[in-house]
Amino acid sequence: MPDTTFTDAQKTDIRRYCGYPSMGALSGGQQSWRFFQTYGFMEFRISNSTAEEVAVVATTYLANLATLEAAIVSASDNLDTDRASVWYHNKQEIQHRERLFDDWRRRLCGFFGIPPGPALQPNSQMSVVV
């Protein structure tokens, strides 16, 4: 029988891949998603997904996004090499990988029917109001 709910770790990954900030401890009383319609809608979708939707998100989106994210980090292994024999390093490798990663993040947002979060907006600058 397939899982019918997301684990807490999967929920965290969904939020961050969709470009939304972390929620923090629920006992803190300041769950930011409660104060914004989009955040609440995202949480509703995450909490009320069907077993089939959970399977698609887990196997297609979360698995691929984890691989793409790791590839961005591992691309730094080649930053010190510009030429090696006949091999030439793609100087835009990280930018290409980031664009592919962000494209998949936006696809995940589209699957949930939510707009990309603040971290996926062009020139995103988040402000904290105290």
pLDDT in tens, 43-81: 899 999 999 999 999 999 999 999 999 988 887 666 555
Element (H, E) at 78: none
Phi, psi of 127 (to 5 degrees): -115, 145
Report pTM: 0.73
Structure tokens at 64: 């691929």
Give the span between the Cα atoms of 60 and 55, in whole angstroms: 8
